[in-house]
Each structure stands twice: as structure tokens, then as C-alpha cells.
Amino acid sequence: MASAQPKTAETAVKQSARTLAQHSRKVAASAAETKQAAAAIEESADLNTRLAADRNILAAERTYAAWVRTGLFALASAVGARALLDGVVPGWLVLADATMLIAFSIFCFAAAVWRQLEPGPPPPVPQLHQIPRAALIAINGFLALVSLAALIGIWFGAPLAAGRAVPPG
């Protein structure tokens, strides 16, 4: 009977060792799966961050385009107001209206550049390229000069009569 007990203890130890080895393999397999899952989540997060940065660039360019569009509309409205309101309302009111619209157009062109160049906190690094700063400043500077030329034309140009400029004379 004494020999039976060591055999049972020995069998129990061997069984425990096999169970422990089996559980160790399961834990190792689970750790490998967790490592792969963590890598996939990290890659997915990196992709989401890059895509968010690209969306930020595109949103900033849409905002820039909206400012420029608004400035062009204000400029066209000023020229149209000068042409259409002359003779309908007092001349000083036509000049004031056109002047304010042109001033607003210049503001819009400046705000477009400022908004594009100073977007706030730094976004993640995008894959898309931004509009070059020199191009923004050059184009909007030119548009502001066009607005100033329209302002000068409205203030100092020939007066309108029946929808046409009266030749000096």
C-alpha cells in the first residue's frame, strides 16, 4: 500500500504538470493574440489620426474659399451698387454703400489669409499638402488691390448718367 501512494502522488504531480503546461500554452497563445490585436488597434488609430489631419486641411481650404468667395461677392456688389443705385438714392449714400462693401471685401481677403495661416492648435501631420503661403498672400493681395482700384474708380471715376459713364468734357 505504501508503494501505491507514491504512485498516486507521482501521477498527480505529472497530471498537474501537464495541466500547468497546457494552461501555459493557452496563456502564451492569448498573449500573442493580444499583442497582434494591440498592433492592429495602434495601426488603426494612426490611420484615423492621419485621415483626421487630412480632413482638417480640406476644411481649412473650404473656409479659405468661403472667405474669398464672400470678398468677391462684396466687391461685385459694390460695383453693382454704384452702377444701379446712381440716380435712385443720393450720391453720398451710393458712395457710402459701395465704400463699405469694398472695405468688407478687403477685410474678407485679409481674413482668408489670416485664417489659413493661423489655424489654431497644431493638427496632426497630414498627408495632403497645404496651399503654399506665398500663393495665398499673392492672390489675396492682388484681390485687395483690385478692391482698392474699384474703390478709387467708384470715388473718382466719371459720374454715371442713365447707366453709362458720362465722358468728361
| Helix/strand/coil for 131 | coil
Pairing of strands 160-161, 164-165: antiparallel
| Alpha helix stretches (DSSP H) within 86-132 | 91-117
Strand partners, 160: 165
Whether the predicted pLDDT of 161 surpasses 90: no
Query: Which pLDDT tens digit goes with each residue over 34-61?
Result: 777 777 777 776 777 778 878 888 888 8
Q: Who wins on pLDDT, 73 or 59?
A: 73
Taking only the tens place, the pLDDT of each residue in 124-139 is 667 778 788 898 889 9
The DSSP 8-state label assigned to residue 165 in this structure reads E
pLDDT tens, residue by residue, 16-32: 888 888 888 888 788 77
* pTM score, whole prediction: 0.59
Phi and psi, residue 52, nearest 5°: -65, -40
Nine cell digits for residue 120 = 489654431
